[in-house]
Structure 1
């Protein structure tokens, strides 16, 4: 009897430990996905703003012909218009400016809300700084400075490299948070340097996002450079120090964090990178044992040709996920002891019953990770295992859906598409289309009526998209005012475009708002088809996103 009881306890412990490991890794994977998405949106915003100032060359249809380049503005008025457009692409305060090879300078900075700073310098003159409330509003002179843009680090570094270049992370002395610049040298058709365009972005949004994530009782998430210098974290500690008598910026290193879990997680990642280099964009999962028990670590390297090398890291003790399982194991073990004492048969039946439920939990945890349909648990129990089963159902809903709009989130849609691709048969090849949707004029609703009204607009748009689609189609929110629609079985571009027009018509209907207001937003829609435009989801999204931006530019031209 004792051996049987020990066997029961061992199998219960192993099954619970396996389920907990899968659950912990899936939770960390979801967290890293959110952090990576935030990093990509901020860095992509900086790059797209520079592309507004100086659009990249466009390939021509004629073979052998060089790419066509849009001429860079000759007059300051045209350059100013582009800077305003680039600046208004950001939801957060931003700074976009241009330093000319002749020493001229023009920059527009959004301080907060509708407060802007306008800086202008003629060649060999002073830099005049004005305050204004927006394009075309009266300007008030606030300062006249000695400023030579060609001697600034962002200008020198971009000219030396001859391509887009990220600066080092620096401290914004006015805003009291970290920031980074992306600089882009501008050349004319003959290769002559015209100047350097620069987009300055703040990194406070990353820390705000990390500290709002559902990390569990002891979980952490943070972003560092390769050397461990902190960029953002979920721990409430200062990331840098600025002293009046010390001009150097003192950055917090992950190895010096007040959180033992941050220090341990970074040390595990550092050891891994010392053995073998990580692939950019690839999610890595690590396990480690510390004095306090096992921890799970997930990280992803963000690298680009402009010099960005950031690590997004998330870690949590396995004990954060083990509590309810352990409690259920102990209770069931006691029931097993009683059953074995009564009869061998009752104990055997009890063992099968308990293991069956835990196997279902393990299978459910795996299905959350690989994107397969969530199985029906059919676990109707009032103990801790029943509570854990209910937690699995709630977790599946939280991991796969966007909390605001209740449609799928980015990772869930990608996982479902990958699941369909991996399970299609040769006799019935998979065809589908992707629609990348970006809302136009949505930012105006947010700015004028507040984020609560903006959220109502997003919820209404999500409902309209769901009502417009078929049963086999899916819609997901990719963050902000961007949605992606999966069109199952669509293989014809004209069919996809007709659905896109139907969606635009649905989105364009007025939306009732506060105090009788009527909000009207539009949508720019990009279309891509599988397998015609790509064989993986990332390629299809990139193609659809590019076509969406083309349509958005067309809308702007037509609206002028």
Structure 2
């Protein structure tokens, strides 16, 4: 007698349950794959954003300290001998100190000088108009403080110190005395305002070539700390600047100075900051730098932080020729990056379950749509990480994935090109120029490069007579001409309006750059092809091209741009027989 098994499930259940289970398994599988793809995308994007952020901090440090060298050179220009007595050069020295503290009054508002005879003179700028002169002409005297207004204002005695201040015993004097070039003292706490200060010093020789004294300037680091504290990071992200010995210079997560029980202040080390993520990140960076002395920087690291959470970090080292060496660090928990991806995977699972119960086919299509979007995000993130800024994301949604996609597209748009001409935009050009300058300094590349500033002639006539649509066509045509007129290694960008800029990557000398400029001016002077030039009459379009050669005309990006811009206006108005800086320049400013 055969035995038969009876199922307690209905036919509908038999047909539906396995299929629904299969769909649920598929939904879970897709969710896992989506999560993995999203994780990879986030890892790529996080590295890119963290390196960009740590680079911004490094640029802020450069801007903060770069003026200190100019201050010292303004007080005692290179080759100017120091007098044997401050009293013999008091008026001239006071004038130079006033000029020096006017160069970068924030943060370089204090310049001072001490000599081997124990004399001292310092000028503190309270504002653009008010100053304080600190003076002692005999080693055994205390310093006298004088208030005055303007560069040559009458000195009015305000106070005199009770203790004798001997500059020869101060750290800045000893550092400058022993160093052959510019040097930085260690960062210290200023007793007047209780904030962190760094001092840059340089020895000064007399007419016989012998050591005579030390000139120095103080830099308050409060502005740098405020910049780091106000960085737009994630909810739990941190940024900080630290010396190689671990002492904090600036931090977004903790103070850099600790109050002692006796009421005094003490510098705070990263390891003692009381912030677990900051201490753990510094330990990771410290160990990495110790094991990779020659590592290419900036670098990113992923490590296990407090409570086992995954941390993404980026760090860099800021150096200058005076011995400054600081480390800039940014760290963000992976959960901050993954929050949107995690929420989206959960949503995917809910949609998959609902689709399995109500509409299997619709559910599968929705899951496939979500998975496809995440894959496109992953591919776009990977492309951005590899430097490809042209591939569109191609996602139009109103949820978190859509927000992330639009963030990608906004980032691409900012980093990529000018919308009209297809050239690089102004920000991209300035980043390329800054990078070229840093590469020159880092690699000691002796071959100069040039910046060309192009301004079209009579372009307003094109818009007035042919219309703005024709003007746009002309800009596109000019952009194409400029691209074809230079080498593949050169970089062309639209600066603003009818202004373009070109970075000639490597030029042997000024003559070679002049030949390129002449070629570009010739190319620009050719008849227009994109519009009918007849309504323009005899006025050829053409353009004026200003040039600045690095490093002969400047060693900073902004200075090179100003030189090239000014030369362009000189050539433009000189060709017309007008004054270079007439109404047009005033309007432009």
Confirm or deny a common fold (TM above 0.5): yes
Instruction: Determine whether 1:50 maps to 2:65.
Output: no
Q: In the alignment, what sits opposite 1:528?
A: 549
- Residue 268, structure 1, aligned to residue 266, structure 2: no
Aligned with residue 40 of structure 2, among 11, 18, 27 = 18
Q: Structure 1's 549 and 388: CA in aligned 2 closer, same or farther, altered over 3 A?
A: closer
Q: Structure 1 321/119 Cα, relative in aligned 2: closer, same or farther at 3 Å?
A: same
| CA deviation after TM superposition for structure 1 residue 70, in Å | 4.9
Instruction: Give me the whole-angstrom Cα distance separating, in 2, the residues matched to 1:526 and 1:230.
Output: 42
CA contact (8 A) 2:452 2:564 kept: no
Are the structure 2 counterparts of residues 244 and 217 from structure 1 closer, same or farther at C-alpha, using a change threshold of 3 Å?
Answer: closer
- Would you say the 8 A contact 1:87–1:95 is kept in 2? yes
SS of aligned partner of 1:527: strand
Which residue among 293, 303, 310 is the counterpart of 1:294? 310
Partner of 2:389: 373
- Deviations for 1:222-270, whole angstroms, at most 9, x for unmatched residues? 11112221111112x43214569566x4111111223222122112112
Q: Aligned match of 1:240 in 242, 246, 257? A: 257
Distance in 2 between residues matched to 1:489 and 1:148, nearest whole Å: 51
RMSD: 4.3
Unaligned runs of 5+ in 2: 1-21, 418-424, 438-447, 454-474, 484-491, 520-545, 566-589
1:496 deviation in Å?
Answer: 7.9
Q: Secondary structure at the match of 2:132?
A: strand
**Any conservation in 2 of the 1:400–1:408 contact (CA below 8 Å)?**
no
Q: Tell me which residue corresponds to 2:342.
A: 326
Find the counterpart in structure 1 of residue 170 from structure 2: 152
Distance 1:105 1:175, change over 3 A: same
Residue 400 of structure 1 and its aligned partner are, at CA, apart by 7.6
2: distance between equivalents of 1:410 and 1:263? 37
Q: Retained in 2: the 8 A contact 1:289–1:295?
A: yes
TM-score (norm 2): 0.67
Q: Which residue of 1 aligns with 2:229?
A: 211
Question: CA–CA distance in 2 between the matches of 1:32 and 1:40?
Answer: 12
* 1:284 CA drift (Å): 1.4
Cα contact 1:325–1:388 (8 A) shared by 2: no
CA spacing shift, 1:495–1:271, aligned 2, 3 Å: same
Equivalent pair of 1:95/1:109 in contact (CA under 8 Å): yes
TM-score (norm 1): 0.70
Distance 2:73 2:301 in 1: 38
| d(CA) in 2 for partners of 1:416, 1:246 | 46
Aligned residues of 2:450 and 2:547 also touching (Cα < 8 A): no
**Does 1:75 pair with 2:96?**
no
Q: Does 1:493 find its partner at 2:513?
A: yes
Distance 1:318 1:409 in 2: 28
**Residue number in structure 2 paired with 1:392:** 408
Report the secondary structure of 2:372's partner residue.
helix
User: Which of 224, 228, 238 lines up with 2:246 in the alignment?
Assistant: 228
Aligned residues: 457
- How far apart, in 1, do the equivalents of 2:185 and 2:280 lie? 28
Query: Structure 2: how far apart are the matches of 1:347 and 1:384?
Result: 19
Which of residues 106, 109, 126 in structure 1 aligns to 2:121? 106
Q: Which structure's CA Rg is the greater one?
A: 2
Deviations for 1:132-188, whole angstroms, at most 9, x for unmatched residues? 233122332112333322222211222123332211211122223110101111124
Deviation at 1:207, TM superposition (A): 1.1
- Offset of residue 347 of structure 1: 6.7
